[in-house]
Amino acid sequence: MEYKKVTDADINVFREICGKDSIFTGTDIHEDFTHDEMTIYGIYKPEAVIEAHTTEQVSRILKYANENKIPVTPRGSGTGLCGGAVPINGGIVLSLAKMDKIIEFDNKNYTVVTEPGVLLMTLAKEAVDRGMLYPPDPGEKSATLGGNVMTNAGGMRAIKYGVTRDYVLGMKAVLPDGSILKLGGKIAKNSSGYSIKDLMIGSEGTLAIITELILKLIPLPEETLSLLVPFDSLEKCFEAVPKIVQSKTNPTAVEFMQRQVIEAAEEYLGLHFPDKSSDAYLLLTFDGDSREALDATYRKAAEICLEAGATDVYISDTEERQESIWKARGAFLEAIKTSTTEMDECDVVVPRTMLGSFMGFVESLEKEHSLRIRSFGHAGDGNLHIYLCKDGLGTEEWERECSCVMKDLYAKAGTMGGQISGEHGVGHAKRDYLEKSLGNKTLTLMRGIKKVFDPNNILNPGKVF
């Protein structure tokens, strides 16, 4: 598809719509806008960066871009891990980061209305200050809510509370032709025709731009407590996961980590983890409204873990101790990134009962190929983050080995009934794998949907498929 290049005349129109201080071109474009968190997927410079402040501005920019066939890539904080917010066809990067107001907390309906550029950490804190909880808890707290919704971000509490999709009640969405849709509302249920709102969630900025969100909140649990559980083998660690889930202890988090990843985080953060003598660990969190109830729950979970072969159970019941463990958990990705020259990521999800055999397969690939592989993930959800590290490999060998291992990982996940991405999305980096995993019929339907929303293919072209 041929796109129009952004000209001085276009820039003047954008200045008129958004104000001259909100348009950046040439050397004024910050380097951050050329990539997301995974520079391995390429550096792409936009022809212009526009910071939007209102729905009306987004509508006018899109209408103009659509009429002139200028590609538009929406962007939140750029913390994505698959090149989703990167302008691979040039054109405009439309940043929603300045639309960062929380419009209204409603503690009777347990909802919040926000602009899309509000950071996850801002909403999380503001909700807690009002005695409410926004349950989705992806690792990168500086991501925007718009980005979270557009990737259907998961995170640490998905096993108990679900993912971002489960908390989106409504939204304002601007279509490529500039029309503004109001979808859903402050309503707990909705069976009124096709759910266009749900189609938007996880669409990675390819169907519309979100300019307002209505999100669901829940009452804030009074108490939380974490358990760090070491196992001397990966098999025992993963065998424990379905047993914990079956036990009715209802954990909010069941995270898996390898010893080597903990060591990397210790080095990266300069802090000491409570234990790193074992090969594999589960980090469990529980919440509830009374300490008594929580004590009974965690004791039951601890017993189950010990019966399943855990070598110990470390209780972390003070805010300080919980923070130090979760701080290390939050740094895993950065720690692995810092430990190597380049890395690629695989975000597969498999049924949780398959985790052990999937990780066994990962270990066999590591031995077979000359590649260091590090893993951690949301074990309770069957969602693993697997990192292939380049270290000292030459470019040719790295590309060959990496591509070979990635293909095998995705193919294996497919045979186990899994999917190629549990929460990070497809972007442009994982498109080829999506095609293989979904098959022609589903992909044709997806392409048809894209065409209905965006017949000129100006909105985030080249992403998802």
| Nearer of residues 79 and 316 to ligand FAD, judged by Cβ | 79
Question: Quick one: the chain helix, strand, coil %, rounded to 5?
Answer: 40, 20, 35
438 exposure class (CB count in 10 Å sphere: 0-12, 13-18, 19+) = middle
Q: Does 172 bind ligand FAD (CB under 6 A)?
A: no
Neighbouring-strand partners of residue 173: 181, 210
What would the x/- binding string for ligand FAD be over residues 403 to 432, using CB under 6 A?
--------------------xx--------
User: Would you count residue 59 as binding ligand FAD (CB under 6 A)?
Assistant: no
* Interface with ligand FAD, residue 37, by CB under 6 A: yes
Q: Is 146 in the site for ligand FAD (CB under 6 A)?
A: yes
From 59, 66, 144, 375, residue interacting with ligand FAD (rule: CB under 6 A): 144
**Position 91 contacts ligand FAD (CB under 6 A):** no
Question: 3-state SS string over 432-457?
Answer: HHHHHHHCHHHHHHHHHHHHHHCCCC
Widest Cα–Cα separation across the chain = 71
User: Quick one: 147 or 251, whose CB is closer to ligand FAD?
Assistant: 147
Rounded distance between C-alpha atoms, residue 450 and residue 460, angstroms: 11
Q: Which of 46, 91, 116, 242 binds ligand FAD (CB under 6 A)?
A: 116
Query: Which of 71, 288 has the CB closer to ligand FAD?
Result: 71
Which residue in the shown chain puts its C-beta closest to ligand FAD? Answer: 147
CB 227 to ligand FAD: min, Å? 20
Phi-psi region of 408 (alpha: psi -120 to 50; beta: other; left: phi over 0): alpha
User: Hey, what long-range contacts does 289-292 have (CB within 8 A, 24 or more apart)?
Assistant: 289/221, 289/222, 289/223, 290/222, 290/223, 291/223
Check binding of 154 to ligand FAD (CB under 6 A).
yes
Verify binding: residue 87, ligand FAD, rule CB under 6 A. no
Exposed (0-12), middle (13-18) or buried (19+): which is 75, by Cβ within 10 Å? buried
Piece of 80-88, 241-249, 388-396, 404-412 that binds ligand FAD (CB under 6 A): 80-88
Cβ at position 115, least distance to ligand FAD in Å: 9
CB of 342 to ligand FAD, least distance (A): 16
Angle at 59 between CA 58 and CA 63, to 5 degrees: 115
Only segment of 5-13, 140-148, 235-243, 245-253 that touches ligand FAD (CB under 6 A): 140-148
Half-sphere exposure of residue 325, counting CA atoms within 13 Å on the CB side? 25
Site string for ligand FAD, 324-343 (x = CB under 6 A): ---------xx---------
- In the bound state with ligand FAD, the residue whose beta carbon lies nearer, of 77 and 375, is 77
Nearest to 277 by CA among 228, 323, 227, 318: 228
Q: Which stretch binds ligand FAD (CB under 6 A): 146-154, 190-198, 254-262, 436-444?
A: 146-154
Check binding of 147 to ligand FAD (CB under 6 A): yes
* Least distance CB 397 / ligand FAD (angstroms): 27
Region 436-455 residues binding ligand FAD, contact defined as CB under 6 A: none
Q: Which two tokens stand for residue 204?
A: 């990675």
Parallel, antiparallel, or unpaired: how do β-strands 314-316 and 383-389 relate?
unpaired
Out of 57, 59, 79, 456, point to the residue binding ligand FAD (CB under 6 A): 79
Nearest CA among 459, 437, 438, 439 for reference residue 450: 459
Spatial CA neighbour of 68 closest among 364, 458, 442, 368: 458
Binding of ligand FAD by 10 (CB under 6 A): no
Catalog residues that contact ligand FAD under the rule CB under 6 A.
36-37, 73-81, 84-85, 96, 116, 138-140, 143-144, 146-148, 150-151, 153-155, 204-205, 209-210, 333-334, 423-424, 460, 463
